[in-house]
Amino acid sequence: MKHIIPFNQFTPLNEAFTVDNKVNQGQKLMVKADLSFGKIAVPVYFFVGPNSPSSYDIFGKSNRDAVAKYQGVPYADAVAHLEKVNGDESADAMVAATVNVASTDHIYSWMNGTRIAQQCKEANADALLAQNLADACFQLANHVICKSFKSTKDLDWLSDEGLTKEWEDYTNTDKKGMVTLMDLQVLTAMLVEKLTPVFAKYMAKYLAGSATTTAL
């Protein structure tokens, strides 16, 4: 595909791929489902990190440029912002959260644990954590469906304005050639179920020491 970094340029990531260190925590999840247009099996990656620059290193520093290509903000700008806020993005994060691609085969979600934890201290923690996760899962599901649906029609899934999609109301069974809204609902719910314990685990160190408790 034009202008897309090939999968084989990335360090191979197998089913057991995990990242759990002082920079980012992350996990690979294979999304398998039987949707209206057929069966799918698409990997997605889910990360939580401490600050904006760390969002560029989720697949390793050697792949930083691949992430930056679709991030929309140069890595240097993220570093400069972190320096501006004296290394603390709890109140002001350049990248608070993102769902994006790093290649045609790398769909991912990254969240700024520092910023989210601060928001949890200022408001209802359960609601904020649930909202952040639900939003990420909705966008991940959208990416997965667009990739899977367009590939069945030999289309570049990142073409024609990227991931824009008008979803058909699933009650409209007469309209053909569209993905049903039910597909999006099913995948979003599936991702929320699978990633809720993962998100809670990753956020624990950011929420530690806070008077705020959560049941997520």
Q: Which of 3-12, 74-83, 92-101, 130-139 has the lowest mean pLDDT?
A: 3-12
Share the mean pLDDT of the chain.
80
pTM for this predicted structure: 0.83
Tell me how far apart the alpha carbons of residues 121 and 46 are, in angstroms, rounded to a whole number: 23
Length reported for the chain: 216
∠ CA 43-49-53, nearest 5°, is: 105
pLDDT at 140: 94
* pLDDT-derived band at 11, boundaries 50, 70, 90: very low
Paired with 49 in beta bridges are 112
Q: Which residues contact 75 (CB under 8 A, 6 or more apart)?
A: 53, 56, 64, 68
What is the tens place of the pLDDT at every residue in 20-62?
556 899 998 999 999 888 899 999 999 999 999 999 999 888 8
What is the tens place of the pLDDT at every residue in 87-97?
999 999 999 99
Closest CA to 130 of 80, 84, 199: 199
